[in-house]
């Protein structure tokens, strides 16, 4: 990815990650309930979720993380890595699986539109032998400008372009040829009167 093309627009940006849940993942504990946490790696930054207890069929975290990067580090943002770890219970525990989300398209699209949101989506969990077991649900928001993130906070305001498209939609509804609708309505009424 060539970031030299847009150094003015991308001084400092923020990637917000919402880690929702995981389900159907590998159970590493033979006895007892497992407790899981996730290590998130983005560029040179690392975050860790709280430990969530529950069975391996569904684990909930519902945690949000914000990764902030100056433009000099954009080239390091090739991907996000999520490592699911089971806390030790007796003799078992450790690495459960991982998910990698590649960021180049997200960064470029977010830069073009000044904001990008990927609603929580399930991603496969990859095991050590490159097979899949279970899924992890993750949402992303990318703000190419820190000031935009600070202005919007965690809630995104509608852009004027969005309002225009809603207005256009309403205007298109008004432009429906109501004559056809009334013609069919009148015709239907006439048919009912003939039947009576």
Task: Please state the pTM of the whole predicted model.
Answer: 0.68
Assess contact for 47 and 58: CB atoms under 8 A: no
Q: Contact at 8 Å (CB) between 39 and 98?
A: no
Query: What are phi and psi for residue 78, nearest 5 degrees?
Result: -80, -30
Q: How does DSSP assign 3-64, residue by residue?
A: -TT-TTT-SEEEEEEEEEEEESPPP--SSS--EEEEEEEETTEEEEPPPEES-TTEEEEEEE
Domain boundaries of the chain, sorted by first residue: 12-154
Q: Please give the full DSSP string across 76-144, using - where no structure is assigned.
A: G-SEEEEEEEEEEETTEEEEEEEEEEE-HHHHHHHHHHS-EEEEEEEEEEE-TTS-EEEEEEEEEEEES
Distance in angstroms (rounded) separating the CA atoms of residues 196 and 127: 72
Q: What digits encode the pLDDT tens for the residues 68-120?
A: 887 677 666 889 999 999 886 555 568 999 999 999 888 888 888 888 999 99
Q: Is the pLDDT of residue 5 over 60?
A: no
pLDDT surpassing 50 at residue 50: yes
Q: Return the CATH number of the domain spanning residue range 12-154.
A: 2.60.40.150
* Predicted confidence (pLDDT) per residue in 115-140, tens digit: 899 999 999 999 999 999 999 999 99
Query: Reduced to 3 DSSP states, what percent helix, strand and coil does the chain have, rounded to the nearest 5?
Result: 30, 45, 30
Q: Which tokens go with 48?
A: 């860790």
Quick one: which H or E segment has residue 31?
Answer: none
Which 8-state DSSP code applies to residue 196? -
Closest CA to 27 of 90, 93, 126: 93
The two three-digit tokens of residue 59, written as one number: 């684990």
C-beta separation of 135 from 22 below 8 A: yes
Q: What is the pLDDT of residue 188?
A: 54
Which of the pair, 190 or 53, is modelled with greater confidence? Answer: 53
């Amino acid at each position: 990815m060539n970031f030299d093309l847009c150094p003015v627009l991308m001084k400092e940006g923020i990637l917000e990650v919402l880690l929702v849940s995981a389900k159907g993942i590998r159970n590493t504990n033979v006895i007892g309930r497992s407790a899981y946490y996730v290590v998130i790696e983005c560029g040179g930054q690392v975050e860790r979720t709280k430990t969530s207890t529950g069975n391996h069929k569904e684990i909930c975290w519902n945690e949000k993380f914000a990764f902030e990067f100056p433009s000099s580090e954009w080239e390091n943002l090739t991907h996000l890595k999520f490592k699911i770890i089971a806390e030790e219970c007796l003799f078992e525990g450790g690495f459960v699986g991982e998910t990698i989300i590649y960021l180049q398209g997200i960064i470029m699209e977010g830069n073009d539109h000044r904001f990008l949101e990927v609603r929580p989506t399930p991603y496969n969990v990859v095991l050590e032998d490159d097979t899949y077991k279970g899924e992890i649900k993750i949402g992303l928001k990318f703000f190419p400008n820190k000031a935009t993130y600070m202005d919007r906070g965690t809630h995104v305001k509608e852009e004027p372009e969005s309002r225009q498209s809603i207005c256009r939609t309403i205007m298109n509804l008004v432009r429906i040829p109501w004559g056809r609708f009334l013609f069919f309505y009148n015709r239907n009424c006439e048919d009912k009167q003939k039947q009576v």
